[in-house]
Amino acid sequence: FKFSTQTLSVVMICSILLYLVSIQLLYFASLRLDIVYKNPDSLWFEIERGMAGSLIVAPIVTATVCVFSLIRFMENHKYV
């Protein structure tokens, strides 16, 4: 495959931003989960634990979808 410089730079910038956002979301979700586990058991504890778990899964799924989207973008914008 031959790609233009502009296409490769867009993909690299998107990949770096995607990595940055994913790592930040995972970090904040893990901090929140640590705070939740220090609280006593209650209904609110269970709700917050579920929300923190969702915040951990969300960046992973989003990053996977974005990577496939970037691959499709590169396939459709080949330099001919």
Work out how many domains the chain is built from and give that number: 1
Q: What is the pTM of this model?
A: 0.60
| C-alpha distance from residue 63 to each of 14, 15, 54, 78 (Å) | 11, 9, 14, 23
Half-sphere exposure of 62 (CA within 13 A, CB side): 17
Range of the domain at 14: 5-77
The span from the CA of 6 to the CA of 79, in Å, is: 10
The span from the CA of 62 to the CA of 10, in Å, is: 18
pLDDT, tens only, 49-58? 788 788 778 8
The helix/strand/coil state of 3 is strand
pLDDT, tens only, 60-73? 888 888 888 877 87
